[in-house]
Amino acid sequence: MSDTNAADTVQSLLSDIKKWTKSAYARNGECGVAVNANSLIATCWCLTGALYRKHGTENYYVKSVRADEKKVFLAIHKLFPGKVQYPKDIQDKFLSDPDSYPGAIHGQIMTFNDLSETTFSDILLVIKEANV
C-alpha cells in the first residue's frame, strides 16, 4: 500500500527550494534524514524521488515511472546538453532509444539532480519542459 497522496505532482512536490534535496530520494523534517520517497514523513525530494512519489513506487520498471523518466531525461538533454555524459556511443544509444535503457536513464536523472552545479532553477526548467 502506498503512503502517497493522489494529488502529488512533481511540480507541487518541488514547488519551493526547501522541498528539494540532493543525494537521497527524500528526506524528513528540514531536509534531514533520508527516507523513502513515499513516506508520510518525507518533506523534500530529489527529482527522481518526486517522480517516485507521484507514482507511488520506487521502481523505475513501472511503465508510468519509465514514461515520466523518459520525458525528464529528454528534457535534461535538450536544456542542458552535455551536462550529464556517458561515452558518446552509449549516450547516442540512450538518446535514440530511451525505452531500452531505463536503469541508465534513471541514473542520469539522479546524476543531474546531484551535480554540485545543478540549481533548483535548473530542476524547475526540466520539470516544466518535461511536463511532469
pTM of the predicted structure, to 2 decimals: 0.84
3-state helix, strand, coil in the chain (%, to 5): 50, 10, 40
Q: Is the pLDDT of residue 24 over 80?
A: yes
Q: Where are the domains of the chain?
A: 10-130
Closest of 33, 45, 32, 34 to residue 4, by C-alpha: 45
Which has more confidence, 17 or 31? 17
Over residues 67-121, the pLDDT tens digits come to: 888 899 889 989 998 887 666 666 677 667 766 666 677 888 999 999 999 999 9
